[in-house]
């Protein structure tokens, strides 16, 4: 269970709940004064002297400091007041429980699963014993025990479930925020690396190439054919070196860098880099499929992340990248022999960590695919299945 306080994006929803509390108190007081309530005076005193002032004070405090309503003691006071109303007017048995379940759900949403469970317990403790001691409750005997059991189970389940959903939602929001931050940082790093690489490499060497071509022109003017050929040969070597350097940069960007590069070509040309960088054997078993650029880019990004995880964190000595058709789908499997993930499942909805794994899941979902991760003592296997979209204007087969 998550014991830490969950973050809230805005204090406005908390203020709304405080406003609803005030609305309940005002409506209850108006109903007691307007209708034939058996214990009107006692009910009006509890609601008017305790419930209404508390609601006004809680709304004012929440407007000034939204975290005020995130304290579990606020929920305890709410249920204590509901218990007082039940004692003052036993005939309000059913209505008090409706309102109690509403407060359990709202408090649990802001407090998380552990706080939600505490709220559910507080509701049961505040209301169930009071109902057992009162004699004018509309139900009695076995039916009262039956109703109270259902109420206690409903309060605990509501608090735990709503809190759990809130925890999952908060973890997903935090993960999405971290993914966005990571994407922005990665884009900035790529831009910076490309700028430095182009400036220190091709730009400088193109200046040298310009000087070489000028010397070729001078040699030609002197009818120095041999000198011109030597300088042209040097220029050709320089040009080929820059073509290779620029092509390596494009390979690093993935298959979407240019149309002629397939997933297979990108992975094959990255494999030597991965071997050198992570010191592990890289085996490829890639069918020559002609896929849409968006799918190629997503699968390549998932492969890069899986290889990096195996090399940096799992201590793998061998990794296998396989791409093949499976029925109507395309299946990518990246498996390694390193250490598996410990603790919770790597794709658990409430786990805010594993940002790299979350990014793989996001990439798979963006192309309508499904991602599965199997991990254990013998290694980890990342599997993606997606319905293929063929490249525009092409048939199946290698480009």
pLDDT more than 90, % of the chain: 37
Highest mean pLDDT among 30-39, 137-146, 198-207: 30-39
Angle, nearest 10°, between helix axes 52-64 and 12-34? 170
pLDDT at res. 382: 93
Predicted local distance difference test score (pLDDT) of residue 49: 95
The phi and psi torsions of 347 (rounded to 5 degrees) equal: -110, 25
Cα 359 from chain centroid? 8
Instruction: Output the pLDDT for position 179.
Output: 65
What are the backbone angles phi and psi of residue 335, rounded to the nearest 5°?
A: -120, 145
Please give the C-alpha separations between residue 46 and each of 32, 43, 69, in angstroms, as whole numbers: 11, 5, 22
CA atoms within 13 A on the CB side of 382: 30
**Does 176 have pLDDT greater than 50?**
yes
Q: What is the pLDDT of residue 354?
A: 52
Using pLDDT thresholds of 50, 70 and 90, give the confidence band for residue 131.
Answer: confident
pLDDT per residue over 229-264, tens digit each? 887 888 888 887 777 777 666 666 655 554 556 788
């Amino acid at each position: 269970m998550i014991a830490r306080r969950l973050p809230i994006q805005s204090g406005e929803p908390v203020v709304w709940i405080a406003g609803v509390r005030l609305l309940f108190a005002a409506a209850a007081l108006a109903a007691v004064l307007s209708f034939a309530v058996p214990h009107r005076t006692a009910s009006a005193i509890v609601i008017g002297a305790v419930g209404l002032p508390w609601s006004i004070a809680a709304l004012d405090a929440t407007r000034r400091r939204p975290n005020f309503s995130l304290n579990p003691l606020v929920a305890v006071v709410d249920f204590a007041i509901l218990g007082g109303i039940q004692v003052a007017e036993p005939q309000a048995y059913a209505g008090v429980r409706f309102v109690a379940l509403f407060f359990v759900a709202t408090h649990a949403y802001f407090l998380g699963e552990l706080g939600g469970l505490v709220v559910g317990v507080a509701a049961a403790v505040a209301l169930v014993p009071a109902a057992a001691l009162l004699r004018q409750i509309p139900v009695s005997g076995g039916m009262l025990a039956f109703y109270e059991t259902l109420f206690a189970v409903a309060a605990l389940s509501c608090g735990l479930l709503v809190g759990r959903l809130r925890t999952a939602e908060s973890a997903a929001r935090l993960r999405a925020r971290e993914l966005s931050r990571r994407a922005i940082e990665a884009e900035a790093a790529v831009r910076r690396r490309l700028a430095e690489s182009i400036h220190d490499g091709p730009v400088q060497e193109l200046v040298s190439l310009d000087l070489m071509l000028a010397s070729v022109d001078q040699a030609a003017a002197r009818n120095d054919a041999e000198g011109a050929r030597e300088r042209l040969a040097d220029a050709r070597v320089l040009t080929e070196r820059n073509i290779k350097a620029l092509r390596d940069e494009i390979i690093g960007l993935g298959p979407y860098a240019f149309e002629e590069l397939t997933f297979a070509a990108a992975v094959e040309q990255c494999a030597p880099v991965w071997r050198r960088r992570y010191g592990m054997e890289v085996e490829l078993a890639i069918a020559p499929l002609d896929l849409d650029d968006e799918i190629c880019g997503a699968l390549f990004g998932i492969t890069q992340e899986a290889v990096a995880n195996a090399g940096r964190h799992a201590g793998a000595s061998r990794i296998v990248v396989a791409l093949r058709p499976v029925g109507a789908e395309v299946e990518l499997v990246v498996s390694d022999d390193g250490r598996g993930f410990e603790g919770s499942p790597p794709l658990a909805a409430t786990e805010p960590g594993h940002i790299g794994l979350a990014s793989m899941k996001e990439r798979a979902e963006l192309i309508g695919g499904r991602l599965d991760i199997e991990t254990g003592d013998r290694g980890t296997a990342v599997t993606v299945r997606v319905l293929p979209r063929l490249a525009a204007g092409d048939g199946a087969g290698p480009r």
